[in-house]
Amino acid sequence: MQRLSLFRALLIFGILQGASNAGYWLLSITDKHLYSMGAAVFFENLCGGMGTSAFVALLMTLCNKSFSATQFALLSALSAVGRVYVGPVAGWFVEAHGWSTFYLFSVAAAVPGLILLLVCRQTLEYTRVNDNFISRTEYPAGYAFAMWTLAAGISN
């Protein structure tokens, strides 16, 4: 069995996880069929499980061995915030635009995360090879951009 690097697993499973929502989009624009629904649910759950396992591996990589339980709990709780706040907005979006547009949007919503993963490739590879992280001082422009984006989001 060939092993995947963390970056490659996150990329492949992230693409599959985003693309799996296209099955629901197809269901929303075609006639109702029980086997089509079963196939879409099966594929989405399979891809979701693979994506989740790769994400858990990423969280474990990000944790310091001395504080791994606390850091893993905090990071996994932080990753659940999206589910809490996106749910109500999704209902309004479906009401305004319909299910087919919602599912297309859910496929497109995977793209920013995949782009961020591509940007972070060097960091993931460095961590895998050296078993520690690149110093934060290497990314002053990245931190400035993140703070600017946060400030712009808060001001609106």
Residue 156 has pLDDT above 70, yes or no: no
Taking only the tens place, the pLDDT of each residue in 18-73 is 999 999 999 999 998 999 999 999 999 999 999 989 988 888 887 777 777 888 88
Q: Are 35 and 23 in contact (CB under 8 A)?
A: no
Residue 124's alpha-carbon distances to 43, 80, 82, 153, in angstroms, are: 28, 22, 23, 27
Distance CA 130, CA 114 (A): 24
The predicted structure's pLDDT at residue 1: 35
pTM of structure: 0.77
